[in-house]
């Protein structure tokens, strides 16, 4: 389990961060605090893996805590979760080693994607002595392979690579059957509207075909089928 410290002074946002963290496997919340000074006390006492850090505090900026962590050479990572959209702040965060930057308000899918990406990186680096270039490229921003693979995330706001993969895996298991957005939503644990958005995108990619199923009364039901499957 990866130990996490949440540093956020807004009680409502802190509660959201805590609830979202509980939904992602592999993480344990060590503590939530509302100030930079309290965070420093805990960081010095506890071996933490990850800090979820806001930028704005009454007594200072979260970026200063990130700089302090680097100055003290402490081995823990930081993900910024903030309403600060200032480009200089974003650049400063990455300059001092933040592994991700999430802008409020955010959806669970974006949070989940960041946490799964971080967890995967920790897992892959844990038991090796020498990293191959291919492994490093997988977790860097400049990976061409990664960029091509996740183009749709940049083009379609709010899409999650993790959710996309889960949905594709779910419909592949259905093989020759047609299915509805509601059935897929239930299978992967998202809303019907979310499932519909991803299915519409798969239709644009020509990976699924939309078929209308007419009943005796009422509107026809939208059903999908993997392209290439036999009836």
pLDDT in tens, 151-161: 444 444 457 78
pLDDT tops 60 at residue 175: yes
42-63 average pLDDT score: 94
For the chain, which domains are there?
2-138 (3.40.50.2300), 161-226 (1.10.10.10)
- Higher-confidence residue of 136 and 12: namely 12
> What is d(CA 54, CA 225) in angstroms, rounded to the nearest whole number?
43
User: How does residue 173 score in pLDDT terms, banded at 50, 70 and 90?
Assistant: confident
pLDDT of residue 149: 42
> What is d(CA 205, CA 185) in angstroms, rounded to the nearest whole number?
19
User: How does residue 134 score in pLDDT terms, banded at 50, 70 and 90?
Assistant: low
102-109 average pLDDT score: 92
Give the range among 124-133, 166-175, 195-204 with minimum mean pLDDT.
124-133
pLDDT in tens, 73-95: 999 999 999 999 999 999 999 99
Task: Tell me the percentage of the chain whose pLDDT exceeds 90.
Answer: 48
Asked if omega into 105 is within 30° of 0 (cis), the reply is yes
DSSP string, 102-155: EESS--HHHHHHHHHHHHHHHHHHHT-SS--HHHHHHTSTT-HHHHHHTHHHHH
pLDDT of residue 150: 43
pLDDT of residue 193: 86
Mean residue pLDDT of the chain comes to: 84
pLDDT in tens, 206-216: 888 888 776 65
pTM reported for the whole predicted model: 0.60
168's tokens: 């594709």
**Do 24 and 2 meet the contact criterion of CB atoms below 8 Å apart?**
no
Residue (of 17, 185, 201, 198) closest to 108 by Cα position: 17
- Higher-confidence residue of 229 and 102: namely 102
User: How does residue 20 score in pLDDT terms, banded at 50, 70 and 90?
Assistant: very high
Residue (of 57, 56, 51, 106) closest to 78 by Cα position: 51
């Amino acid at each position: 389990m990866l130990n996490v410290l949440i540093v956020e002074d807004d009680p409502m946002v802190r509660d959201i961060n805590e609830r979202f963290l509980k939904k992602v496997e592999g993480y344990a919340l060590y503590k939530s605090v509302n100030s930079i000074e309290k965070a420093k006390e805990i960081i010095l006492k506890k071996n933490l893996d990850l800090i979820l850090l806001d930028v704005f505090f009454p007594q200072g900026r979260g970026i200063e805590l990130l700089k302090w962590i680097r100055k003290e050479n402490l081995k823990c990572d930081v993900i910024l979760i903030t309403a600060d959209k200032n480009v200089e702040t974003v650049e400063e965060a990455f300059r001092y080693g933040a592994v991700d930057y999430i802008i409020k308000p955010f959806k669970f899918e974006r949070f989940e994607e960041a946490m799964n990406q971080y967890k995967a990186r920790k897992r892959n680096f844990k038991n090796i002595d020498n990293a191959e270039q291919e492994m490093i490229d997988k977790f860097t921003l400049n990976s061409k392979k990664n960029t091509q693979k996740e183009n749709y995330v940049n083009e379609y706001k709010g899409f999650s690579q993790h959710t996309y993969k889960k949905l594709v895996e779910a419909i592949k298991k259905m093989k020759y059957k047609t299915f509805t957005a509601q059935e897929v939503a239930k299978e992967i644990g998202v809303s019907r509207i979310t499932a519909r958005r991803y299915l519409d995108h798969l239709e644009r990619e020509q990976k699924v075909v939309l078929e209308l199923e007419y009943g005796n009364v009422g509107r026809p039901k939208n059903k999908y089928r993997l392209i290439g499957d036999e009836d």
